[in-house]
Amino acid sequence: MEKPIEKILAQKEFSKADLITLLNANEQERQLIFAKAEQVKKEYVGNKVYYRGLIEFSNLCGKNCFYCGIRAGNKNAHRYEVDEEEILQAAKYAYDNNFGSLVIQAGERSDKSFVRRISEIVRKIKKMSNGELGITLSLGEQSEDTFRQWFNDGAHRYLLRIEVSNPELYPTYHPADDRHDYFKRIESLHLLRKVGYQVGSGVMVGLPFQTTSDLADDLIFLRDFDIDMVGMGPYLEHEDTPMYKYKDQLLPRMERFYLSLKMVAVLRIMMKDINIAATTAMQAIDPMGREKALKVGANIIMPNLTPTKYREDYLLYEDKPCTDEDAEECKRCLEARIYMAGDKIGYGEWGDSKHFKRRKEQNKEKQ
């Protein structure tokens, strides 16, 4: 017999069975989970939301993941790379508007010219902002040398989403070759930790063939890796991908949305002081999706600073919101959303993971 939700929420530790019960919670029960997550968020990370100005640097990608709209095999994708001057203008906008931090995201590549360009951009952003802008990179698997080079250039957080933590399920969504190796991705997460980054990961929620048991394992994976920051949201299909043929087998979009909210809330309850992003994919389903994610535990939001002429081409999934908003509109819109959620913006702050800081202090004490 399943334990009542109230009893599970009163525990300090959760078994996999507990997590499955929480993720299967009905409409009434999930309100208890959301209320608990909101309470934990206030107590451990406060009601500040931190900006990460997002620059989608390029949609050129060397990978062929079956769910992604910018996969190398998508011949319909219009490829682009933002030029350096435009990136520095976007970074200056973030600096002038007191954002605190940037995220530089792109398709996964590791060629020398790409690695060099990222190095130059990171160094120039640091110089332009007098070292004041924090930098998160989300640029896929790289060698330890590359991770270290970018870290030394000034990046200090790195997001590398696992997307699905079950190694047996991983090949369902990725080609079976050495470019799409589950264990190489895990190794990259360990290398990031070794180099000194605050390490982020995340998963998609509501993929075809994914079960609630798989999602519970995803939460356990994030906990056991002792992750510092997480970005996760609903899987949204794209017609130019192999996964699109399973669109009729998917959960309805609103079910995927509420399952994603439960994942955010349960993770906040489990890992009280990590950073959790309110992802754009939430808003693609529910116009108030990001506010709802903030209410149940998220504390990071990413205003899009990519020049609008490129936005339509960075479509990982269909119905991506805010592709036609310029940076100023996006900023105003998000400010309103954050205040509506009862939070305030940590202007001019890096908003580093408290979890990362706590681990660092504990490691110092052990030495």
Range of the domain at 80: 48-209+221-250+279-287+298-366
Does residue 117 sit within a domain? yes
Does residue 258 sit within a domain? no
Chain segment 106-118, per-residue pLDDT in tens: 999 999 999 999 9
Chain segment 67-107, per-residue pLDDT in tens: 999 999 999 999 999 999 999 999 999 999 999 999 999 99
* CA distances from residue 299 to 46, 48, 66 in whole angstroms, order as listed: 9, 7, 30
- Spatial distance between the Cα atoms of 360 and 355, rounded to a whole number of angstroms: 9
Quote the percentage of the chain above a pLDDT of 70: 96
User: Which pLDDT band holds residue 324 (cuts at 50, 70, 90)?
Assistant: low
Does residue 193 sit within a domain? yes
What's the token pair of residue 62?
């060397």
**Whether residue 319 has pLDDT greater than 70:** no
**Whether residue 62 has pLDDT greater than 70:** yes
User: What mean pLDDT is reported for the chain?
Assistant: 93
Q: Would you mind telling me the total number of residues written for the chain in this entry?
A: 367
Does residue 216 sit within a domain? no
Which residues of the chain form beta strands (DSSP E)? 48-51, 53-58, 101-106, 134-138, 157-159, 198-201, 204-205, 229-231, 233-234, 275-277, 300-301, 344-345
Q: What is the CATH number of the domain that holds 351?
A: 3.20.20.70
- Spatial distance between the Cα atoms of 349 and 50, rounded to a whole number of angstroms: 7
Does residue 31 sit within a domain? no
Q: What is the helix (H) or strand (E) element at residue 158, kind and residue range?
A: strand 157-159
Q: What is the helix (H) or strand (E) element at residue 300, kind and residue range?
A: strand 300-301
How is residue 81 annotated by DSSP?
Answer: B
- Count the domains in the chain: 1
Are the beta carbons of 169 and 239 closer than 8 angstroms?
no
Are the beta carbons of 300 and 268 closer than 8 angstroms?
no
Does residue 12 sit within a domain? no
Chain segment 204-235, per-residue pLDDT in tens: 999 999 999 999 999 999 999 999 999 999 99
**Whether residue 327 has pLDDT greater than 90:** no
Does residue 138 sit within a domain? yes
